[in-house]
Amino acid sequence: MCGIVGLLGRFEHKETLLAASCSKIAHRGPDSRGFWEDADSPVAFGHVRLAIQDLSEQGHQPMASADQRFMLVFNGEIYNHPQLREALEQDGYAHAWRGHSDTETILAGLMVWGIEETLKRMVGMFAIAVWDREARSLVLARDRFGEKPLYYGYTPAGFMFASELKALMSLPGFNTQLNRDAIALFLRHNYIPAPYSIFTQVRKLLPGTWVTLSLDQIEQADWPEPQTYWSALDVARTQPRRRVERDDEAVDELDKVLRQAIRGQLLSDVPLGAFLSGGIDSSLIASLTREETAGSLRTFSIGFTEPEYNEAEYAAQVARHLGTDHTELYVSAQDSLDLIPSLPRMYDEPFADSSQIPTALVMRMARQEVTVALSGDAGDELFGGYSRYQRVRQWWRKREKVPAGLTTPLRVGARLAGSLLSGPRAEKFGKLEQVLGADDMVAFYRQFVSYWQDPASVVKGASEPPTAFAQPPLDSLLDTMMALDTASYLPDDILVKVDRAAMAVSLETRVPLLDHRVYEFAWSLDEKYKVRGSESKWLLKQLLYRHVPREMLDRPKKGFSVPMGQWLRGPLREWGEQLLAMSRLQEQNLLDADRVHAIWMQHQSGAADHSPRLWGILMLQAWLDEYGIKP
C-alpha cells in the first residue's frame, strides 16, 4: 500500500516538486520514498511506500521492467500475483525474478500481455501509473471497484496525477477554481462521485478503467477518454443466471468463492487482522479468515458509551466464539468531537458521511497492532442488505398502484399540504410528492438517496452533471438499487471513507467481498438468495450460521453512526454557527444563504432533524477553511 504522484510537461525542478508532494501523503507510505525522472522525456514519478509484500529493496518503487521499457508506480495489492507469475512463465517470460513483490509481477505482465490483458488478469485493488518509454505515453489505471484513489488533471505547466488531492494542490499554477456542478452533486449525495472532483481542472479516474496519454495530448491539455476493462454495471446487466437445485448448493458455492478471495488477501509479510463489528458481514469475514489462518487472528471493534449506538458487546461474543485475539475501544462523545477538526485534511475533498468519525477511530486503534486489516464492506451492495431497500420497495409498490390520471393532482395536493405544515408531517408530504414524480426506478431511488432534491438551486451558478443515475433501470427495483450503489455509493462514499481513514494512520484495508469473482457469483444468483421475504442478505447469513450460532446474530442492526443531530444542537452548535453565519454565506456567494440559514434554525428549534444535510454543508465550509480557498 502506497501513495503515488507524477508530473509530465514543462514543470521545473521536478524532483523538488515531487518531494514536496510526497511529504503531503507520507502517511500513505511511511517506510520509504522513491523518485525517478526520465532522461529522454519530460516525465517524473514519486512514490511513498507502506511495505506489505517483499519488504526488501527489491520491492522499492518507482520500478522498471526487466527490459527497461516500462516504469511503474503502483498503490495497492495484487492478491493473485503468485499465480500470475506461473502464467507468465508459461507464456514465455524468461527473466529472472528479482524479488517477490507484486509490482514486479505487474511489470512482467505489461511486457508479455500488454495493459488491457494484464488488468483483466489481476485480482486486487490498485491505482497504477506506467510510463512506456517506447510509445512515449502514460497509462493510468484503477481497480474494478475503485478501492484505491487516483486523481489527475492539468496545470499551465502540464499534466499531474496523485493518490490524494493534497499532493497536487501545492504544485505551482494549481488552479483552485471550484467545480460548482460537483458541489451540487455533493449536496445531493454528501460525496462527490467520480469522475468529478471539487476542482474544475482535476478529475478522478473511474473504477475499472484506464486512460492513455501521449506527449502531444498533454501539450494540448487534452482530457483522454477512459477505456473500460471491467464494469460492475455491465456485470449486473449481463451476468448469466446459474441454475441452483438446492439452497445448500448456493451456500457451498459462496463458501468456496469467498474462501478463495480470503486466501488471496491473506498474502502479507506484515501483521494482519480483521475488523469485527458483530454484524453479519464482518462476522462472516472474521469466521472464514480465522479458519484460513494457521495461528490466532487479531480482531478489532469499537464501542460507544451511548447504549443505542453500541454493538461492541455483540462483537465480543462473536470473538469469544471464534477464539480470536480481540481488542475493543470504547469511545466517548468527546473522543469523536476531538477528531472533527482533522477531517477536512484527512478527506481532501468535502466528504460528509458522519460514520467517517467512528471509522477513523477504529482504524487508529487497529494500527497499533497490525498493518493490514480485512473488512466486511460490500455485503449490503452485493446481497441487498441496506434497510432502505425494503422501504424503497414498499413505496414503489404504493406508487405503482396510483392510476396514471391521478398522479399529477395528487402531487399538487401533496405539495400544498407540505407548504401548510412543518416538521415531520411536512417532510412526509414532501416525500410523497417526490415519489409521485419519479418516472422510473432509477429516478425513484435517486430521490431516496438524495439529501437535497434540488441541489443546483442551492449552489449558485451550478447545474448537475450526469452520474451513474443516468443509467436505465435493471429488471427489478432491488437489482437497480444494488447496481447503482455499487457504481456510486460504494466507490465514492464507503471506499473513500475507509481508504482515507485507514491510510491516515498507515493501515492497509482489504475487502474480500469485493473480489470480482465474488461479485460475479452474487449476480449469477436469483434475487431470492439475496432477499427472501423480509430477510436481507439471506445467503450470507446461511453461510455464517455454519460458524456462529444464529442467536448471537439475529438482532436489529444499529449501524455505525453517531448522534450528529444532538451534537449540532449541543457541543458543535457554536462551531456550526461560525461556519454557517449569514454574513459568511453571503460574502462567499456560493450557497443560497437564506435556505441554509433556514434549515439550521429549524434544526436548532427541534422541529426537524436536518443533521445529514447540515453535516454536508459544514464539511464543505470546514474544507474551504482548511485549505484557505475562497469561492
Q: Which residues are catalytic?
A: 2
Distance CA 623, CA 340 (A): 11
| Residue 174: how many other CB atoms lie within 10 Å | 18
Distance CA 216, CA 221 (A): 9
Q: Which amino acid is at 203?
A: R
Task: Tell whether 594 is in a known binding site.
Answer: no
Contact residues for 451 (Cβ-Cβ < 8 A; gap 6+): 187, 188, 189, 190, 612, 613, 616
Helix axes of 441-448 and 477-484: crossing angle, nearest 10 degrees: 60
Q: Which amino acid is at 377?
A: D
The answer to whether 321 touches 413, Cβ cutoff 8 Å, is: no
Distance CA 615, CA 627 (A): 18
Task: Tell whether 279 is in a known binding site.
Answer: no
Residue 560, SS3 per DSSP: coil
Using alpha carbons, select from 530, 515, 483 the residue that is nearest to residue 233: 483
Contact residues for 214 (Cβ-Cβ < 8 A; gap 6+): 135, 136, 137
Q: What is the DSSP string of 44-86?
A: EEEEEE---S--SGGG-SSEE-TTSSEEEEEEEEETTHHHHHH
Q: Which helix (H) or strand (E) holds 328?
A: strand 325-331
Alpha helices (H) in 74-231, listed in sequence order: 81-90, 102-112, 115-121, 166-169, 180-189, 215-219
Q: Which helix (H) or strand (E) holds 582?
A: helix 582-588
Distance CA 222, CA 17 (A): 23
Distance CA 379, CA 512 (A): 10
Task: Tell whether 102 is in a known binding site.
Answer: yes
Distance CA 206, CA 152 (A): 11
Distance CA 235, CA 215 (A): 34
Distance CA 34, CA 306 (A): 46
Using alpha carbons, select from 121, 25, 28, 24 the residue that is nearest to residue 508: 28
Q: Which cell is 470 given?
A: 443516468
Task: Tell whether 302 is in a known binding site.
Answer: yes
Distance CA 332, CA 329 (A): 10
Per DSSP, 552 falls in state G
Distance from the first to the final alpha carbon of the chain: 34
Would you list which residues are annotated within the binding site for ATP? 302, 375-376
Would you list which residues are annotated within the binding site? 102, 302, 375-376
Would you list which residues are annotated within the binding site for L-glutamine? 102
